[in-house]
Chain A
Amino acid sequence: MLQVYLPIAEVSVNLVVMLGLGAAVGFLSGMFGVGGGFLLTPLLMFSGVAAPIAVATGANQIVATSVSGALAQWRRGNIDLRMANVLIAGGIVGALVGVLLLRLLSQIGQAELLISLTYVVFLGAIGLLMLVESLRVIQKARAGKPVPARRASAHNWIHGLPLKMRFPTSRLYISAIPPLVIGAVVGLLAAFLGAGGGFIMVPAMIYLLRMQTNIVIGTSMFQIIFVTAIVTLLHATFNQTLDVVLALILAAGGVVGGQFGVRAGQKLKGEQLRLLLALLVLGVALRLLLDLVIKPTDVYSIAPLLAGS
């Protein structure tokens, strides 16, 4: 039924299933305010798309969702352009390293494994942290105790670093090194995992750089447009793993799903949302882990020989 042949992935997929996948991930990302790439790439892998193609196509899909998101944030004045530029500069370096690393790993046949393993580690850790945190908040709220807000300490080691820059929108005067490093890590993850990396960047900017949460979200969404755009370009150029037809189908589903997700998200409390997201993230991590530990039906696999190996 409605099979569509993907010219680069060279597989035939079900149009309805892929539109649904895009919409479901879009719905979740709209609901939880996350990019959704960290769910999309594993789900594409589960549905039979080769890991490197899932990564490149996932990155391209995030460009679309973050343009929508960043525009809304920009209208609210939540973007620190100067900070975004520094993050993007770091992101370009990280993206280049990630793309070349993925190419190397594909040649020696370890890309699938390392992408899965990295996902298991990141999704497992973040899922657990969110699960514990949201359960604690829900429990305290039931007991009727007030929930103390986390307080950022005024000074930390970050302030001892050189190369200080002024970020007027965030009202910060800090070294450019931490944002450069955060940008580079996010670029690396975007290139390697096909995920926007918001799940790393948002907590890092809040807790390390002491930025305001609303500016963090806006700035993160804005810079991720550029980082994933660069990742898309690099994967297309160096690895030829980008399937534009698949990306378009996913993006079309994603944009529509995202809008319904935002509305659904407004009906739930923050800690309930985080609990749901934590369970979802843990579910994906568990499925990836099971695929790694359960004996495969055939221990042999075949792949076309890649140029340069």
Chain B
Amino acid sequence: MGNRLRLAAILCAFWWIPAQADEPASQETVQSDISTREIYIQSNFAGIEIVIFGSVDFSHTPSPDEGDYDVITVVRSPAEPLVVRQKKRVSGIWVNRAGRTFQEVPGFYAVLATRPFKAIAPEETLRTLGIGFSNLDFGKTDRDDAKEAAFRSAVIRLKQDQNLFQEHDDGVSFLGRSLFRASVDLPVNVPIGRYTTDVYLFRDGKLISKNESTLEVSQAGFERAVSLVARNHPFVYGLVAVVIAVVVGLFGWVMFRRE
């Protein structure tokens, strides 16, 4: 498989770099890549696991168990506007009443870390990097407004229910002195778009290196054709749908009519 080959190639490459390097004392840097750079959603799509693997160059760690380094990986899809509504009981019936629009909510967002990420780095660093649900800003949010906060946490809760927001404290594991891997499940309802995966390398609570890669999630084949036509030529799409329905109806009549 392409993925395995690529992993092997990267493994070999990284294995030799530290040995060849003249200055073992150089600043550590992190390299990373994703098992799959393109994900195509077709009719049989049932979710997919992606693996993010990477390596720490100029690792100072004597053995994998020492754990000088911490890695946090953030996978996110493009932000999109989202409406959150709150139901209230009005004469016995639950009706959508108050609502808030958040302009920038990632469709998918996952934080993977070697250990609880709040213990890896100070809150301020995490906030600047947008690591963790509580540090997402969703566009403009007034954190002090209690009502706004309730809507915010509802978005996070509902996204978590759909597996579209994930936090995994043990999502990244070191395989050797410098090699690590992280895996995350993209559920069946993942939004399409260009995802970014940011890999942050920490030592003693300090960010020492960062690496970014992208992942394209798109519809493919028949599904892509259908949604493209539906979006760009909606009238033609509707017309085709009607023609198909008429043909199915005619077919049913011809097949089953009893003379």
Q: Does A139 contact B (CB under 8 A)?
A: no
How far does the alpha carbon of A236 sit from the alpha carbon of B245 in the complex, in Å?
A: 14
Q: Does B154 contact A (CB under 8 A)?
A: yes
Type the 1/0 row for B64-94, where 1 means its CB is closer than 8 Å to any CB of A. Answer: 0000000000000000111111111100111
Q: Is B230 touching A296 in the complex (CB atoms < 8 A)?
A: no
Q: Is A229 touching B242 in the complex (CB atoms < 8 A)?
A: yes
Q: Is A68 touching B253 in the complex (CB atoms < 8 A)?
A: yes
Contacts of A234 in B (CB 8 A): 238
How far does the alpha carbon of A245 sit from the alpha carbon of B101 in the complex, in Å?
A: 31
| Given A109-B96, A240-B230; A300-B241 close (CB under 8 Å) | no
The stretch of A6-14, A83-91, A202-210 that contacts the partner chain: A6-14
Q: Is the interface of B mostly helix, strand, loop or mixed?
A: helix
Q: Which of A115-143 contact B (CB under 8 A)?
A: 117
| Given A5-B45, A229-B242, A247-B241; A71-B189 close (CB under 8 Å) | no
Contacts of B257 in A (CB 8 A): 71-72
Q: Which of A64, A229, A245 has the most CB of B within 10 A?
A: A64
How far does the alpha carbon of A294 sit from the alpha carbon of B94 in the complex, in Å?
A: 8
Contacts of A259 in B (CB 8 A): 252, 255-256
Q: Is A300 touching B151 in the complex (CB atoms < 8 A)?
A: yes
Q: Is B249 touching A293 in the complex (CB atoms < 8 A)?
A: no
Contacts of A11 in B (CB 8 A): 189
- Category for how many chain B residues contact A: 35 or more
Contact residue among B86, B99, B231 (Cβ-Cβ distance under 8 Å from A240): B231
Type the 1/0 row for B245-259, where 1 means its CB is closer than 8 Å to any CB of A. Answer: 110111111011100
In the complex, how many angstroms separate the beta carbon of B92 from the nearest chain A beta carbon?
Answer: 6
| Given A237-B235, A304-B81; A68-B252 close (CB under 8 Å) | yes
Contact residue among A4, A109, A242 (Cβ-Cβ distance under 8 Å from B43): A4
Q: Which of B212-252 contact A (CB under 8 A)?
A: 219, 223-224, 226-227, 230-231, 234-235, 237-242, 244-246, 248-252
Q: Is B253 touching A72 in the complex (CB atoms < 8 A)?
A: yes
Q: Is B188 touching A61 in the complex (CB atoms < 8 A)?
A: no
How far does the alpha carbon of A292 sit from the alpha carbon of B94 in the complex, in Å?
A: 6
Q: Which of B93, B219, B238, B239 has the most CB of A within 10 A?
A: B238
Q: Is A109 touching B246 in the complex (CB atoms < 8 A)?
A: no
In the complex, how many angstroms separate the beta carbon of B207 from the nearest chain A beta carbon?
Answer: 32
Contacts of B82 in A (CB 8 A): 302-305
Q: Is the interface of A mostly helix, strand, loop or mixed?
A: helix
Contacts of B159 in A (CB 8 A): 302
Q: Does A277 contact B (CB under 8 A)?
A: no
Q: Is B188 touching A12 in the complex (CB atoms < 8 A)?
A: yes
Q: Does B37 contact A (CB under 8 A)?
A: no
| Given A299-B87, A302-B84; A293-B188 close (CB under 8 Å) | no
Contact residue among A7, A72, A245, A252 (Cβ-Cβ distance under 8 Å from B248): A252
Q: Which 10 A-B pairs have the closest CB atoms?
A: A67-B249, A236-B238, A255-B252, A300-B154, A63-B245, A305-B81, A233-B238, A259-B256, A64-B245, A64-B249
Which B residues contact A (CB, under 8 angstroms)? Answer: 41-46, 80-89, 92-96, 99, 101, 151, 154-155, 157-159, 161, 188-189, 219, 223-224, 226-227, 230-231, 234-235, 237-242, 244-246, 248-253, 255-257
Query: Can you list 20 pairs linking A and B with CB atoms under 8 Å apart?
Result: A4-B44, A7-B223, A12-B45, A64-B246, A68-B252, A71-B253, A229-B246, A233-B242, A237-B238, A244-B241, A247-B245, A259-B255, A293-B94, A298-B158, A300-B86, A300-B151, A302-B154, A303-B82, A305-B83, A305-B101
Which A residues contact B (CB, under 8 angstroms)? Answer: 3-5, 7-8, 10-12, 60-61, 63-68, 71-72, 109-110, 113, 117, 225, 229, 232-238, 240, 242, 244-245, 247-248, 251-252, 255-256, 258-259, 292-296, 298-305, 309
